[in-house]
């Protein structure tokens, strides 16, 4: 009896060993897979912490930033962000510090390395934009500021980067000359409006606009009862009036050698098809949070994976061109507000329909006020900008979002004075209410720039007077 129990225990122990070995092998296999397989979700277990708001959508592409041994890749950050920093006329580019005159300052803070100031996967140590700086870092390099600028005496060491005063990279709306130039403008300018879109005229001037098509011209070859909605939408859209037939999207020709061969009908329409005709729009879209996953060869973002509050009914929608431009109609008024509010559900977005901007937008939509006088979500987040020889709707909704002074020149200054715009954007409560009300406080920087400029003028005049009287 005792012996047989001993045997059973022995056999069990043997079995446990077998299971243990099996489990270990499995765990090793899993770890091996997680370590080696490109973009496997298992790689998340190696993340030290939550990835930043700007990068979490592409976090599984570890090797966009890391080498295989998880060192930082040289120039990974610059590779993706150089164009943006160049465009914003970066006031502190790394190249500035290669100059031996400024090299001394690098001993305090290595400004040639993005990681001195930006961190990743350490949410407990980072602020928005992955920043992990001591708040008084500007003063480390600009130690003589209080002597150079008497107006700055008494300012706290950490106040340089207060909203509306200075940024580290992008100071396009904040540098002295522009502050002085736009000093004293009224809060609302005369005849406030944004530029008109000129795509239609631009295509026409380049003879790229086809002749208008009618129902009889449609080339789909599908039974009439299967295309009722598609046909009705298409007939109303500028695609039909600009000569873009069904086949233009559903059977785009492919080049075989020197000739273009039509494909078979495909019900779904890939991004490449839209971008074939709308390159600047597609490029913009790929650069922001709406399209960045596709840009990095992931499937499109799904709404339920978002971190910002979203409408639950939209949870399973994917982010594509169709998110705002549902197939066939391509109504840009619908795309500019209604489409956004089918997904976005944060306080700021929801407050929009209570704002005077929305009243202006409604008046424009109803034809009661001129085109361009309304302010939609897209007016601010997808501004109409010069580019590619025409006015282009910037489809990168992150291009002017942070720091928000980026919006001053591309958006607000079409309609508001510079000082009012800076004041409004420096007021987080006002942003939360989607700009319903007046800015809480006035930022003095324009006044300071003006005083400085006037003093310089006076001094120069005095010097001239002295020279003349000698
Ligand atoms: C957008 C760029 C980016 C992506 C994508 C990214 N990381 Fe990182 N990661 C960083 C940065 C920046 C640091 C901080 C490096 C430093 O401070 O030297 C970091 C640090 C780390 C560290 C700590 C390294 C150390 O030496 O302390 C680990 C581990 C890590 N990442 C793993 C991952 C894994 C695993 C993935 C993919 C699932 C990933 N990272 C994706 C940018 C990225
Ligand atoms: C594969 C391309 C890619 C790489 C590599 C990359 N970024 Fe980004 N980054 C993006 C995209 C796309 C966004 C989101 C759009 C935006 O905010 O401009 C973004 C956003 C940001 C933001 C704004 C974040 C926010 O919360 O608004 C900062 C700051 C930033 N990146 C810095 C860095 C730094 C520093 C590195 C190197 C450690 C880096 N990026 C590496 C593509 C990249
Ligand atoms: C000395 C600190 C510092 C260094 C070094 C630094 N940044 Fe920044 N970065 C900031 C601060 C502060 C912000 C917040 C906005 C601002 O003040 O300009 C920022 C914002 C950004 C943004 C958001 C968009 C924008 O235009 O402001 C991006 C992208 C960015 N940094 C990328 C980089 C890259 C890439 C590098 C390396 C080439 C880098 N930064 C080096 C401090 C730094
Ligand atoms: C690593 C050192 C360093 C840091 C940190 C730094 N600066 Fe600078 N800054 C410089 C250098 C170098 C110049 C070039 C002009 C000069 O020699 O003074 C400069 C120029 C400027 C200018 C004049 C820009 C122009 O070209 O018209 C302003 C304004 C300025 N910095 C403000 C700031 C503010 C605000 C911060 C913090 C957000 C900051 N700096 C952080 C080194 C630094
Ligand atoms: C500007 C591009 C474009 C043009 C032109 C176009 N379509 Fe479409 N069509 C789409 C898109 C986008 C979808 C949605 C596909 C998806 O979900 O991937 C679609 C879907 C469809 C569908 C599937 C069911 C539905 O209604 O969503 C049919 C049928 C269809 N189109 C017929 C037509 C016909 C007929 C024409 C010409 C009268 C036409 N399309 C012209 C872009 C276009
Ligand atoms: C064969 C070329 C071609 C393709 C493919 C194409 N478009 Fe267009 N699209 C045009 C032309 C031409 C216009 C009309 C310009 C005008 O007259 O204003 C236009 C206009 C538009 C407009 C503006 C509508 C308006 O009323 O102002 C939107 C939005 C649009 N397209 C989105 C898309 C999307 C999304 C896709 C892919 C599903 C797509 N287009 C595919 C050529 C194309
Ligand atoms: C199909 C759903 C959908 C539609 C439609 C949509 N968005 Fe988004 N939007 C998202 C998701 C998802 C994100 C990413 C949020 C996140 O990462 O937490 C996002 C991000 C953004 C951001 C960046 C926020 C940030 O903090 O970086 C802005 C701004 C934005 N959307 C504005 C708009 C505007 C304006 C419209 C309409 C013209 C619009 N969206 C239409 C789903 C949508
Ligand atoms: C977040 C919503 C949103 C998404 C996603 C979106 N668009 Fe748009 N698109 C708009 C709005 C809003 C307008 C009109 C803006 C205006 O009137 O200033 C517009 C305008 C356009 C126009 C007309 C441009 C002109 O100058 O007349 C084209 C073409 C276009 N979009 C193509 C695309 C393509 C291609 C994609 C996918 C890569 C796309 N859009 C994705 C919201 C969006
Ligand atoms: C008058 C300009 C303006 C209008 C109109 C506007 N926004 Fe914004 N939006 C902003 C500014 C400014 C910010 C804040 C940027 C910052 O400081 O980070 C912002 C932030 C956002 C964010 C990011 C919120 C977050 O918590 O990170 C989303 C999403 C957004 N807006 C969507 C919308 C939608 C959707 C609409 C229309 C229903 C809209 N906005 C109307 C100017 C505007
Ligand atoms: C197309 C023109 C236009 C653009 C662009 C525009 N606004 Fe306005 N905004 C107006 C007009 C006009 C009013 C005055 C409405 C009224 O008094 O009824 C206004 C009112 C305001 C108000 C006061 C609202 C109130 O209830 O008193 C604020 C704050 C504001 N805008 C901020 C901004 C900011 C910040 C931007 C840029 C992000 C911006 N606006 C972009 C036209 C515009």
Query: Is there a contact between 173 and 412 (Cβ–Cβ < 8 Å)?
Result: no
| Percent of the chain residues past pLDDT 90, beyond the cut | 77
Is residue 199 within 6 Å of ligand 6 at its C-beta? yes
How much is the average pLDDT of 261-278?
92
CA–CA separation, 189 and 191 (whole Å): 6
Is pLDDT at 417 greater than 70 in this prediction? yes
Query: Is there a contact between 444 and 423 (Cβ–Cβ < 8 Å)?
Result: no
Query: Whose alpha carbon is nearest atom 31 of ligand 8?
Result: 281
Query: Whose alpha carbon is nearest atom 9 of ligand 5?
Result: 327
pLDDT of residue 4: 64
Token pair listed for 156: 């706290």
Residue 290 CA to ligand 7 centre (angstroms): 6
Is residue 131 within 6 Å of ligand 4 at its C-beta? no
Is residue 55 within 6 Å of ligand 2 at its C-beta? yes
Residue 112 CA to ligand 3 centre (angstroms): 11
Residue among 128, 47, 453, 80 at smallest CA distance from 288: 80
Pocket probe for ligand 2: among 61, 64, 75, 80, the residue whose CB has the most ligand atoms within 8 Å is 80
Query: Whose alpha carbon is nearest atom 40 of ligand 6?
Result: 274
Confidence bin at 260 (pLDDT 50/70/90): confident
Neighbours of 78 (CB within 10 A): 11
pLDDT of residue 13: 67
Is pLDDT at 286 greater than 60 in this prediction? yes
How much is the average pLDDT of 88-104?
88
Residue among 81, 33, 32, 36 at smallest CA distance from 55: 81
Pick the more confident residue, 110 or 348: 348
Confidence bin at 12 (pLDDT 50/70/90): low
Residue 418 CA to ligand 9 centre (angstroms): 19
Distances (CA, A) of 18 to 4, 14, 427, 440: 21, 6, 65, 71
pLDDT of residue 3: 60
**DSSP-derived 3-state class of residue 344:** strand
CA–CA separation, 355 and 433 (whole Å): 8
pLDDT of residue 32: 75
CA–CA separation, 323 and 289 (whole Å): 13
Is residue 91 within 6 Å of ligand 4 at its C-beta? yes
Residue 258 CA to ligand 6 centre (angstroms): 26
Nearest ligand to the CA atom of 346: 9
Is pLDDT at 1 greater than 60 in this prediction? no
Token pair listed for 134: 């001591």
Neighbours of 442 (CB within 10 A): 14
**Ligand 9 site: residues with CB under 6 angstroms?**
308, 337, 340-341, 344, 346, 348-349, 352, 357, 375, 377, 380-381, 401-402, 404, 407, 425, 431, 434-435
Query: Whose alpha carbon is nearest atom 42 of ligand 6?
Result: 277
Query: Whose alpha carbon is nearest atom 2 of ligand 3?
Result: 117
Pocket probe for ligand 5: among 212, 217, 223, 230, the residue whose CB has the most ligand atoms within 8 Å is 230
Residue 168 CA to ligand 3 centre (angstroms): 7
Is pLDDT at 98 greater than 60 in this prediction? yes
């Amino acid at each position: 009896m005792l012996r047989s129990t001993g045997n059973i225990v022995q056999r069990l122990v043997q079995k446990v060993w077998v299971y243990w070995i099996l489990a270990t092998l499995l765990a090793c296999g899993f770890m091996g897979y997680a370590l080696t397989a490109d973009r496997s979700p298992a790689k998340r277990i190696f993340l030290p912490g939550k990835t930043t708001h700007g990068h979490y959508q592409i976090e599984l592409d570890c090797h966009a930033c890391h080498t295989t041994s998880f060192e930082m890749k040289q120039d990974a950050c610059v590779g993706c962000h150089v164009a943006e920093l160049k465009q914003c006329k970066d006031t502190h580019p790394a190249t500035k510090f290669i100059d031996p005159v400024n090299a001394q300052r690098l001993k305090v803070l290595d400004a040639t390395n993005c990681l001195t100031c930006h961190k990743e996967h350490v949410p407990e140590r980072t602020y928005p934009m992955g920043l992990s700086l001591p708040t008084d870092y500007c003063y480390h390099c600009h130690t003589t500021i209080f002597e150079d600028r008497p107006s700055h005496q008494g300012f706290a060491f950490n106040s340089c980067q207060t909203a509306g005063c200075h940024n580290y990279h992008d100071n396009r709306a904040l540098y002295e000359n522009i502050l002085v130039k736009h000093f004293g403008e009224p809060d609302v300018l005369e005849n406030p409006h944004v530029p008109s879109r000129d795509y239609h005229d631009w295509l026409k001037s380049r003879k790229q606009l086809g002749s208008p098509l009618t129902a009889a011209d449609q080339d789909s070859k599908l039974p009439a009862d299967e295309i009722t909605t598609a046909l009705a939408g298409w007939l109303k859209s500028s695609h039909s009036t600009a000569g873009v037939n069904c086949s233009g999207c559903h059977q785009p020709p492919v080049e075989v050698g020197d000739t273009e061969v039509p494909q078979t009908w495909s019900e779904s329409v890939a991004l490449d098809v839209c971008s074939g005709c709308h390159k600047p729009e597609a490029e913009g879209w790929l650069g922001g949070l709406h399209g960045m996953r596709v840009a990095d060869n992931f499937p499109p973002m799904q709404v339920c994976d978002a971190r910002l509050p979203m409408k639950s009914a939209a949870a399973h929608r994917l982010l594509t061109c169709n998110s705002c431009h549902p197939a066939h109609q391509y109504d840009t008024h619908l795309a500019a507000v209604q489409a956004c509010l089918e997904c976005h559900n944060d306080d700021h977005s929801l407050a929009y329909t209570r704002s005077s901007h929305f009243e202006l937008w409604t008046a424009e939509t109803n034809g009661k006020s001129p085109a361009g006088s309304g302010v939609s979500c897209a007016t601010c987040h997808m501004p109409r900008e010069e580019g590619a020889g025409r006015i282009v709707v910037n489809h990168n909704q992150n291009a002017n979002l942070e720091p928000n002074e980026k919006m001053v020149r591309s958006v607000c200054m079409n309609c508001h004075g510079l000082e009012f715009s800076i004041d409004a954007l420096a007021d987080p409560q006002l942003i939360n209410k989607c700009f319903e009300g007046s800015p809480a406080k006035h930022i003095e920087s324009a006044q300071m720039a003006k005083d400085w400029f006037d003093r310089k003028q006076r001094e120069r005049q005095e010097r001239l007077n002295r020279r003349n009287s000698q």
